[in-house]
């Protein structure tokens, strides 16, 4: 298993990223990405892109991200945190910079209504990912 970023990794090495939000249920995205990384002997990356210029907009966000990043590190992932007003572009830039081949995303809220989903932030991210040709793995929302 490669897991950590290795600039000397052979060309064609799969690279998996889990895009997380500052929520405890993001652990399931990290778990799925770790399973995919194991299956394909791939590097594992954990990425959070906070909309805006700071993670301190909400007092709980830094605490949750710290716990998620620690969890991701324990799974063997390399963690990344970005702040941007254009989340979709930042994810696209990250994919290019790290040559990501597979991305794990949580299912969008209201995923049933496809028109709303296309116009949402999730829709913009999905459109960006398709332009980059990365394999998108969607993890279904948990039933309450």
Counting the structural domains of the chain, the total is 1
CATH code, 95: 3.40.50.620
In this structure, is residue 4 part of a structural domain?
no
Asked whether residue 61 is assigned to any structural domain, the reply reads yes
Looking at residue 10, its pLDDT comes to 65
Lowest mean pLDDT among 23-27, 104-108, 134-138, 140-144: 140-144
Asked whether residue 8 is assigned to any structural domain, the reply reads: no
Q: How many CA atoms lie within 13 A of 103 on its CB side?
A: 25
The answer to whether residue 128 is domain-embedded is yes
> Can you tell me the distance from the alpha carbon of 105 to that of 49, in angstroms, rounded to the nearest whole number?
13
- Per residue in 90-136, pLDDT (tens digit) is 999 999 999 999 999 998 776 555 555 555 778 888 888 888 889 99
Q: How far is it, in rounded angstroms, from Cα 142 to Cα 13? A: 31
The beta-strand segments (E) located in 20-85 are 43-51, 78-84
Domain membership of residue 75 as a residue range: 15-139
- How does pLDDT run across 46-81, given as a tens digit for each residue? 999 988 877 667 778 888 889 999 999 999 999 999
Mean per-residue pLDDT for 28-37?
97
Residue 96 belongs to some domain of the structure: yes
Q: Is 69 part of any domain?
A: yes
- Please choose, from the candidates 2, 11, 79, the residue with its C-alpha nearest in 3D space to the C-alpha of residue 45: 79
Residue 3, in any domain of the structure: no
Residue appearing with tokens 């991200």: 65
């Amino acid at each position: 298993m490669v897991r950590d970023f290795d600039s000397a990794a052979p060309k064609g090495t799969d690279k998996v990223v889990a895009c997380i939000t500052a929520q405890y249920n993001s652990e399931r995205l990290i778990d799925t990405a770790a399973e995919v990384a194991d299956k394909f002997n791939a590097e594992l990356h954990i990425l959070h892109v906070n909309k805006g210029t700071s993670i301190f907009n909400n007092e709980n966000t830094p605490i949750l991200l710290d716990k998620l990043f620690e969890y991701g590190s324990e799974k063997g992932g390399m963690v990344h945190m970005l702040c941007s007003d254009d989340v979709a572009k930042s994810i696209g830039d990250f994919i290019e910079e790290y040559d990501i081949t597979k991305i794990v995303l949580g299912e969008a809220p209201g995923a049933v209504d496809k028109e709303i989903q296309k116009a949402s932030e999730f829709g913009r991210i999905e459109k960006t990912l398709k332009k980059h040709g990365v394999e998108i793995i969607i993890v279904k929302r948990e039933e309450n």
